């Protein structure tokens, strides 16, 4: 591993191509999308995908771990509203590490279920995910157990040789009140290949649009099109050692911009809170919602 290497632009070129494709797709379609969801990267709220809608997101994270090579990870996320109370998602992840290679790191299939059909002060959602990713995965969609900066020091060849098949369960608790969204996620994960114990993690998020009422006229830079917030997430050890010892944690502000009749763009710098964490992670996301893709979409015929 080379400390202080210059980050090569191949990963960025790949990212730009994917983003351009995403934006072009968005511009060509007639069914516009404006997700208006909290601008979180790791935390889930109780907002489900509307039934029949398909949201395509490109999520990226860039980091430069101490003593390791800088990396950029890309995750393509396909989120479909199966029912009002059931959302299904497929993730495809890859990454580029400077002075190493660009590889596909695996996939995840996730389902979220809302057991209570009405809005409450706190709304629970049950999350079940099957992961098939290798140890070179850098998507950081969650932090669990004793995940730490040392995970980023292995080469892509080393990481690729070890595939992890794991089951992940989350309890999502979320509230919408006076324009604010407050969400808490409790994460547990089990590697199905090995006899490793259950690992735990958490994610907390709070966000609010800059304005709650809609403007009278169409406008791109209206305050209601922006949402700001903050996220805090990290590991909580495992069944053999629950707690904060030898875990990594991140926190940072987040901002989302819902472009009217276009994609939603979200950005967040996440700061590592201890020596086990990467100093700064830059997260970005472009998402676009295709409305009523397999459903009753008739555009008012």
Partner 1 sequence: MIRRVPMLVVLIVGTLAFGVADGAWLKNVPARDHQRTNPYQTQPDAVASGRRVFADHCAHCHGENAEGTKKRPPLRSLRVQQEATEGDLHWLLINGNMRKGMPSWSKLGDPQIWQVIAYVKSLHR
Token pair 């700061």 is found at: 271
Give the nearest distance from C-beta 83 to partner 1 in angstroms. Answer: 7
Q: How many CB atoms lie within 10 A of CB 192?
A: 12
Rank residues 241 and 295 by Cβ distance to partner 1 and give the closer one. 295
Give the nearest distance from C-beta 144 to partner 1 in angstroms. Answer: 27
Site residues for partner 1 per CB under 8 A: 31-32, 34, 36-38, 45, 47-48, 50-52, 81, 83-85, 114, 117-119, 176, 178-179, 181, 209, 212-218, 224, 260-261, 291-292, 295-301
Give the nearest distance from C-beta 197 to partner 1 in angstroms. Answer: 36
Rank residues 114 and 170 by Cβ distance to partner 1 and give the closer one. 114
Instruction: Give Cβ neighbours of residue 179 (< 8 Å, ≥ 6 apart).
Output: 208, 209, 212
Q: How many CB atoms lie within 10 A of CB 20?
A: 11
Rank residues 121 and 195 by Cβ distance to partner 1 and give the closer one. 121
Rank residues 67 and 294 by Cβ distance to partner 1 and give the closer one. 294
- CA pair distance 20, 24, nearest whole angstrom: 6
Give the nearest distance from C-beta 240 to partner 1 in angstroms. Answer: 39
Give the nearest distance from C-beta 299 to partner 1 in angstroms. Answer: 7
- The pair of structure tokens assigned to 95 is 């990454």
Give the nearest distance from C-beta 19 to partner 1 in angstroms. Answer: 23
| CA angle at 50 for the pair 44 and 201, rounded to the nearest 5° | 10
- The pair of structure tokens assigned to 7 is 């980050």
| H-run or E-run covering 233 | strand 226-238
DSSP 8-state class, residue 51:
B
Rank residues 6 and 120 by Cβ distance to partner 1 and give the closer one. 120
| H-run or E-run covering 82 | strand 71-83
Token pair 């996320």 is found at: 77
Rank residues 38 and 65 by Cβ distance to partner 1 and give the closer one. 38
């Amino acid at each position: 591993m080379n400390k202080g290497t210059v980050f090569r632009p191949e990963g960025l070129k790949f990212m730009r191509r994917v983003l351009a494709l995403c934006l072009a797709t968005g511009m060509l379609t007639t069914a516009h999308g404006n997700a208006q969801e909290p601008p979180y990267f790791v935390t889930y709220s109780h907002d489900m995908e509307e039934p029949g809608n398909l949201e395509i997101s490109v999520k990226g994270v860039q980091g430069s771990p101490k003593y390791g090579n800088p990396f950029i990870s890309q995750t393509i996320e396909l989120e479909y509203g199966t029912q009002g109370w059931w959302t299904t998602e497929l993730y495809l992840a890859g990454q580029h590490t400077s002075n190493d290679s660009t590889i596909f790191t695996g996939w995840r299939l996730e389902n979220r279920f809302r057991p209570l059909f009405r809005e409450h002060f706190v709304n629970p959602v049950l999350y079940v995910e099957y992961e098939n990713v290798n140890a070179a995965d850098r998507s950081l969609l969650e932090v669990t157990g004793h995940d730490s900066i040392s995970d980023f020091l292995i080469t892509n060849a080393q990481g690729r040789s070890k595939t992890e098949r794991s089951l992940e369960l989350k309890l999502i608790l979320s509230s919408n009140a006076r324009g604010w969204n407050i969400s808490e996620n409790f994460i547990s994960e089990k590697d199905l290949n090995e006899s490793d114990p259950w690992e735990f993690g958490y994610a907390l998020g709070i966000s609010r649009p800059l304005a709650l009422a809609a403007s009278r006229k169409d406008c791109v830079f209206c305050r209601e099109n922006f949402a700001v917030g903050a996220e805090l997430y990290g590991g909580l050890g495992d069944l053999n050692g629950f707690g904060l010892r030898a875990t990594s944690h991140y926190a940072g502000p987040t901002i989302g911009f819902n472009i009217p009749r276009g994609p939603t763009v979200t950005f967040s710098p996440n700061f590592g809170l201890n020596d086990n964490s990467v100093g700064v992670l830059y997260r970005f996301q472009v998402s676009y919602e295709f409305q009523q893709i397999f459903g009753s979409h008739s555009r008012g015929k």
